Amino acid sequence: MLHLRIITPADRTAQVTALLEETVGATHLVVLDGAARDPAGDVVTCDVAREAGDELLAGLRKLGLAEHGSIAVENIDLSLSARAETAEAEAPGEGVDAVLWESLTEATHEESRLTLTYLTFLTVATMLAACGVQTDSAILIVGAMVVGPEFGPLAGVCTGIVRRAPRLLWRSLTAVLVGFPLAMLLTGGFAVLMDTLGLFTHADFVKPHPMTDFIWKPDPMSFVVALLAGVAGIVSLTSAKSGALVGVAISVTTVPAAANAAVALSYGNLGETGGSFLQLLVNLAGIVLAGTLTLLGQKLFWSCQRRRATTA
C-alpha cells in the first residue's frame, strides 16, 4: 500500500475527493479543511494499493496539484486494516508488478545527475578495477563492479526514451558520456603514477590473466549477459527490489572494461584498448536496449490490465 498526503486549493478539494472515491484500490480517505498553510488549502490523505497508484497520480497531476499544491507519496510497511486488504484485492494486478512511473522518473532523475559524488564513485570503481586487472584479481573486479554507479544513468536513458522525457534523457546521457571518459582519463593517470612508483609494471600487465581476460574480449555472450542484466535492473527498480541491483552490477563488465582500456592505453597497447572499449560499448548498448524494451513491455502490460478492469 501507498500513503498519499495531498495539499489542494480549497476550490479543487471536491474534485480531488471525487477522484479518490472513484479510484478502485483507494481507501482511508481523510479531509482536513483549511489545515495547510504553505501553500494554503486543504489537506487530503488516503491509502491506495500500489497497483492503482500510477493511474491515481496521473489523475491528480491533471488537476494541477503538482503546480498549485503538493502530492507526497510514502510506502506503507505495515497496514492492519480490513479495508486495506479489500482495496488491494479489488485493484487490478499485483502490487509487486506495478510500475509507478512518477516514482521511477524521480529515482532515475536523482541517480542520473553528473555530480561530484557520481564521478567520485565511478572513478574510484575504475581505479579499483585497474588494480584488479593488474593483479588478475577477480575479487577486486567484482568489488569495482559493485562500487560503480553507472546503472542509474543507464536506467535514466531507458526511462527518458519510454516516457519521452528529453531533459531526463539528455541528463542521463551526459552522465554516461562525460563520466566514463573522465574516469578513464583519471585512471590512466593513476596507472602511470602506479607504474612510476613500481606498483604497476608492464610485465605484469602483459602476462596471462586467466581471471580477467574476458574484460577485453567481447563476444556474443557479452551482449546476452548485458541484455539479461538490463532486464533484471529495470524490473528491480520498478518493483522497488533494490537488492537485486547488486547482482546486476556484478553481472556486466562496464567499469572493468573502462579500466582495462585506460591501463592498456597508458602502456600503448592499442589492440587491448580497442577490445576493452568495444566490450564497454557492447555492455552499455545491451543494458539500454533491454531496459527500454522491458519498460515498454511493462507499460503495455499495465495498459492491458487497466482495459480489462474497465470492461470487467
Query: Residue 311 — pLDDT band, cuts 50, 70, 90?
Result: low
One-letter identity of residue 44: V
Q: Is the peptide bond before 256 cis (omega within 30 degrees of 0)?
A: no
Q: What is the pLDDT of residues 108-132, one digit of tens each?
A: 777 788 899 999 999 999 999 999 9
Q: What is the pLDDT of residues 29-56, one digit of tens each?
A: 999 999 999 899 999 999 998 888 888 8
Q: What is the pTM of this model?
A: 0.82
Question: Does the pLDDT of residue 13 top 60, yes or no?
Answer: yes
198 close to 273: Cβ distance less than 8 angstroms: no
**pLDDT recorded at residue 51:** 82
Tell me how far apart the alpha carbons of residues 19 and 58 are, in angstroms, rounded to a whole number: 11
The phi and psi torsions of 211 (rounded to 5 degrees) equal -85, -25
Q: What is the pLDDT of residues 180-224, one digit of tens each?
A: 999 999 999 999 999 999 999 888 888 888 877 778 888 888 899
Q: Which of 212, 219, 213 is nearest to 282 (CA)?
A: 219
**With respect to CATH, is domain 2-96 assigned 3.30.70.120?**
yes
* Lowest model confidence (mean pLDDT) among 45-49, 164-168, 242-246: 242-246
The phi and psi torsions of 107 (rounded to 5 degrees) equal -65, -45
Which residue in the block uniquely carries the three cell numbers 541528463?
Answer: 171
Average pLDDT value for residue range 232-250: 71
Average pLDDT value for residue range 245-269: 84
Tell me how far apart the alpha carbons of residues 88 and 282 are, in angstroms, rounded to a whole number: 41
